[in-house]
Structure 1
Amino acid sequence: MTGALMMAAAIALSGCGSDGGESPSAAIDPNASPESVTGALTVMRNPGEMTDEKLDDFKAQYPNIDLTVIDYDAVKLASLQAAGSAPDVFRVEGPAVAPLVSQGLLLDLTAPFESAGVTDDTTYESANIYVFDGKRYGLPKDWSPDLTIFINKSIFQQAGVSVPDPSEPISWDEVRKLAADVKAGLPASSTIIPFGGAWDTFSPARFISARLAESGQTLYSEDQKTLNLVDNPDAVGFLQYMADMAKDGLTFSPLNPSASYAGDDFTKGNVAMAMYGYWFNSQVNSGETAVGVNYSMIPAPYWSDQGSRVDPTVTGTGYVVSAGTKNPQAAWELMKWYLTGDEAGKRAEAAAGLPVLRSNVDLLPQDSDVNKQAFGVVTAEAEDSPALQFNKYYDDSVFTTSYNKSLQEYLAGSISIEQVAQNIQDEVSAAIQDGVLAVGD
C-alpha cells in the first residue's frame, strides 16, 4: 500500500472509533463459550498463512459465526477503509500499525489479550510494536529478529571464501568484505548476487532505524514529526553503505532488480547471502531447493560495537481488529484462536517464525542439523531484539520510493549521497506533515 493510499483511507475514517474503540472492546467477554458467539465476521487474510483448512477448524469450533473471508490486498484494504467498510479483522505488518492507531482505526484489545495471558513476561519485546500509549492493538502472528543472514555454503566454497562462525557475530564491514570476496572469487560471467534480502525486500528506513538503535538513536524525533536523516552522520553513513553495495554490484538495485525477491533467488542458488529472519528457514530447510541443506544462519551484524549489537524485527506481521467492527466478540475469538491458541502452537511446529509466546518456543523443530543450528541462533538473537520506533504519521513506503528513485541517480553518478539523503528528507517530511494535518496534531 502506498503512503498516499494509506493516509487517504485514514483521513476518510478519522471520525470512526473515537479513541481506539474502547467501548466495543469493553463488550468483549474473555470467557465466552464458542457456541455462544454469533453473528457475521469478515477477515482479510493471507491465504498461504491463514489457510482455508485452518479456517475450517475455526468454523467447527465456532459454528454460529458467519465468517466471510477476503484474501489480502493492500489496495482493496485501503478502498474498504475509505468506504467505511473495513474488514473486522485484517492482516497488517507491524510498521503499518502506528498510523492506523493514530487515526483511531483500531480496536484497543489490551484487556482481552491480558486475559489470554499476553503480558511482557510471556512475550518478547518485539511484541510491543503493537502497543501504543500502554494499549495493545494486536499481536504478531509470529516474528523474527530480521537481520540474521543465511549463507549458501556451496557458493562460498565455489568462490573460495570461508563461511563465518555462526557463534560469533561479524560487523557490517565484514559483511561487505564477504560480499566483495564472493564476487571476486566467482567467474566474471557469474550472475550470482553476493548479498540480498534486507532493504531490497523491506523499507530501507527500517534498516537505518536498526542501525541507529545500536547507538541509542532513532530515525524520527520523539514526537515523530521530524525525520532525523540529513543531519545525522550515522544515518547518512548507513545510506551510503546501502548505496555503495548496489554501486559495486554486491546486491540488487533498481538497475539490477530481482525477478521476484531475494529469498526466491537464494533458494534457486542465485544469491550467496540473504538477510532474513528465522521465518526464512522454513523455506529452505526441506533440502529440496537448489541450496539443499548446505547453508547456515549467522547472527545479525553490528556496526561498531559488538556489545551494543541489536537484531530487531522489521516486519512483525500480525492481525488487528477494526475500531468500527460491529462484532467485537467474534473478532476477538478469531484473534485469540489464531494468535494465542492451539493454532499458534501449530505454526510454531511448522517453523513459520519465532513464536510470540515464549511458552511455544520449544515447539520449533530441531529434527535436523540445519534446524538445530537455526534454532540456536534465533533463540539467542531474540534476547537482543528491541521494538523499533515506527512512525505514526506516514507509511514508510514513501521512504522506499524516494530512496529507489534517488539511488538510480546516485548510481548514474549524477548526485551525491548527501543529495540522496536530502531528497528523502524532503519527500518523507512532506508525507509526515500530511499525516500530522490529517490527525490534527
Structure 2
Amino acid sequence: MSVPTTGSLDRRRFLTYSGVALGATALSGCAASVGGSGSSGGGKKTLTVMTVADEWDKKTKAQIEQLFNVHLSVITYDIAKLNAMLASKNPPDVVRSTGATQTPYFAARGLMTDLDPYFAKSSVLKASDLDPVNDVWRYDGEKQGAGPRYGLAKDYSQDAMLWYRTDMFDAANVDLPSDTKPLSYDELLDLGKKLVKRRLGKVKVYGLNATGMGVFAQLTGMTASAGGSVFSDDLTTVDFSSPEALKALGWYLEYAKADIGPNVVNPNPDGWDGPTYQANRMAMSSNGYWFGGVIGGDAKLSKVSRFAPAPQLGSHRVSPCFGATGFWIPKDAKNKDTAWKLFEWYFAGDPAKARASSGWGIPSLTSLRSQMPQGTAFQKQAFEVQHRETPYFSVLPFSPYAQVDALDAVLSKVLPDAVKSGTSAGKVADELNSRMNDQLAKGKELVG
C-alpha cells in the first residue's frame, strides 16, 4: 500500500492495512514514546523505528528482537516529533515515510543515509531487482529520480487508477470503463455526474472520489498528463497559471462545484474511501492497486468491483505513484548496520513475500511480482489491468523546499471559498502561486 504517513485520512488507511491485510493486532505496548537510539537497560542495543503504531504485532516485535538481538522501540509517526529528533541529532534508526513526496525534502537537508554502499554489499537486496518506483527514493541534489538511493518502498501503487462498482453502473444504465483505454478527465466527470445519487438535496451515493491520495498530488498527476508540470524546472516555484496546471485546477473546481464526491467543501465524513465504498455509497474511487485489499476480503463486493487505468487530462499518458511508502535511515542514526539488517528482512524476507501475496500493493522487488494474487476473477482482472498500466509509470519530481502537507494546507485554505464564490480558475491560480511560492522561498533559504 502506497500511502502517506500523515493526516487522519492516511492514518486510517495504515491501520486498515496493518490490521486486516497481515493480521497484525494494535497493541499499546508497540508504541512507546521514547527518544533516540542507544542501549537498553538489559545491555542490548535499542533499535528505534518511527512508524505507524501497529506496524508489527507483539509476536512479530519479539521475532525482530530475537533475529537482531536488540530491544525494539517503536515510536508512532509524527512529523513534528521527527523534525525535532532530527534537529537534535538524536533521530530514530529507521523512519517510515512516503518516498514520492518526502525524499527531496529530507535528502536536500543532508538528513538521510546514502544506502548505495549497503546495496553494493548485500546478498539479499540488489539494485538490479528494484522496481523502478524506488527511483522516487533517489535525489542527486537537484532532482528526484537520480543520484543516491536514500530509502526503499515496501510496496506501491499507481495511485490515480480507478476502482468502480459494476452494479452501480448497471443501475444507472451507464457503460463500464474500458480495461485498456483510459478515460479522459472530462469523461470521468461526466460519469460521476451520472452515477451520483441524492436525497433531499444531499449526496446519498458519491458518483466519484477524484482525489483519493490528496488534492495536491492529484493536481500534479493531472498536469503531467496534460504535458506540463506544477513545479518549475528547478523546483523552486509552482505555477498554476500555466496552461496545463490551469486546466487541472479548473477541472478540480468544476468537480468540487458539482458536489458529486468528497471535496474541499464537503469532505467525506468517513475520512477515506474504504468504509464508504464498502457501505455501497461510492461508485468510483481514485485509488491504486492497494485498494483492492479493501475490496478483496468481501466476496460480494469483489464480485461487482473492477479496476481501470488512470484517467488522462491530455495526450501525455502517465500513471504516477503518489506514495511509495517505505523506510529510510537517518544520517545521524546510531545503529545503521542493524537498521540495514532490518531492511533486508523487511523488504526481501518473509514480510515482503506476505505483502506481495496479500493484494495490498505491488511488490517493491521485481522478483516478487509473480506472487501477486491471481486466484479469483477479481484478482486476475486487477492484476491484468495493473500489468498493462506499469509501462506508464514515471517519477513526478517533488520540491525539496516544502513538505506536501504544507502545500495541501494552502489548497485547503484557498479552494473552499473559491468553490463557493465561483472564483475563476485564473484568480485561484494567482492566489495559490503567491501563497505556495512564499513557502517554497522560505524553504529554499533554509536549505541554502
Q: Distance in 1 between matches of 2:441 and 2:389?
A: 36
The residue number in structure 2 matching 1:236 is 246
The 5 A counterparts of 1:264-413 are 264-287=275-298, 291-305=301-315, 308-413=316-421
**Residues 207 and 260 of structure 2 are in contact (CA less than 8 Å); yes or no, is this contact kept in structure 1?**
yes
**Residues 124 and 382 of structure 1 are in contact (CA less than 8 Å); yes or no, is this contact kept in structure 2?**
no
Q: Distance in 1 between matches of 2:227 and 2:128?
A: 23
Give the CA deviation at 1:122: 2.3
**Residues 58 and 337 of structure 1 are in contact (CA less than 8 Å); yes or no, is this contact kept in structure 2?**
no
Q: Distance in 2 between matches of 1:189 and 1:183?
A: 10
Q: Give the match's secondary structure for 1:412.
A: helix
Q: Distance in 2 between matches of 1:281 and 1:145?
A: 12
The letter for the 2-side match of 1:76 is: K
Superposition CA RMSD, Å? 2.3
The residue number in structure 1 matching 2:110 is 104
1:40 aligned to 34, 41, 46, which one?
Answer: 46
Give the CA deviation at 1:184: 7.0
Give the CA deviation at 1:311: 0.6
Q: Distance in 2 between matches of 1:206 and 1:423?
A: 18
| Range with greater deviation from structure 2 (376-385 or 134-143) | 376-385
Q: Distance in 2 between matches of 1:74 and 1:264?
A: 26
Task: With the length of structure 1 as denominator, give the TM-score of the two structures.
Answer: 0.84
The letter for the 2-side match of 1:238 is: A
1:218 aligned to 195, 204, 229, which one?
Answer: 229
The letter for the 2-side match of 1:53 is: K
Structure 1 residues 434 and 119: CA distance shift in structure 2, 3 A: farther
Task: With the length of structure 2 as denominator, give the TM-score of the two structures.
Answer: 0.83
Could you list the per-position Cα deviations for residues 206-261 of structure 1 after superposition, in whole angstroms to 9, with x for gaps in the alignment?
2222223335432222221121322x111011011011101011221232111121
Q: Distance in 2 between matches of 1:185 and 1:45?
A: 40
Q: Give the match's secondary structure for 1:191.
A: strand
2:267 aligned to 250, 254, 257, which one?
Answer: 257
**Structure 2 unaligned regions, length at least 5:** 8-43, 141-146
Structure 1 residues 189 and 433: CA distance shift in structure 2, 3 A: closer
| Residues paired across the two proteins, number | 399
Give the CA deviation at 1:109: 0.6
1:135 aligned to 148, 167, 184, which one?
Answer: 148
Q: Distance in 2 between matches of 1:130 and 1:68?
A: 25
**Residues 159 and 183 of structure 1 are in contact (CA less than 8 Å); yes or no, is this contact kept in structure 2?**
no
**Residues 2 and 395 of structure 1 are in contact (CA less than 8 Å); yes or no, is this contact kept in structure 2?**
no
The residue number in structure 2 matching 1:78 is 83
Give the CA deviation at 1:333: 1.0
Structure 1 residues 218 and 121: CA distance shift in structure 2, 3 A: farther
**Residues 219 and 228 of structure 1 are in contact (CA less than 8 Å); yes or no, is this contact kept in structure 2?**
yes
Q: Distance in 1 between matches of 2:231 and 2:314?
A: 21
**Residues 143 and 313 of structure 1 are in contact (CA less than 8 Å); yes or no, is this contact kept in structure 2?**
yes
The residue number in structure 2 matching 1:157 is 170
The residue number in structure 2 matching 1:6 is none
The residue number in structure 2 matching 1:246 is 256
Could you list the per-position Cα deviations for residues 302-330 of structure 1 after superposition, in whole angstroms to 9, with x for gaps in the alignment?
2232xx31111011111111111111111
Could you list the per-position Cα deviations for residues 143-179 of structure 1 after superposition, in whole angstroms to 9, with x for gaps in the alignment?
0111110001222222222221223322111111111
Structure 1 residues 317 and 368: CA distance shift in structure 2, 3 A: same
Give the CA deviation at 1:104: 0.7
Q: Distance in 1 between matches of 2:194 and 2:108?
A: 46
Could you list the per-position Cα deviations for residues 63-90 of structure 1 after superposition, in whole angstroms to 9, with x for gaps in the alignment?
x222212222333323333443321101
Structure 1 residues 158 and 114: CA distance shift in structure 2, 3 A: farther
Q: Distance in 2 between matches of 1:103 and 1:349?
A: 37
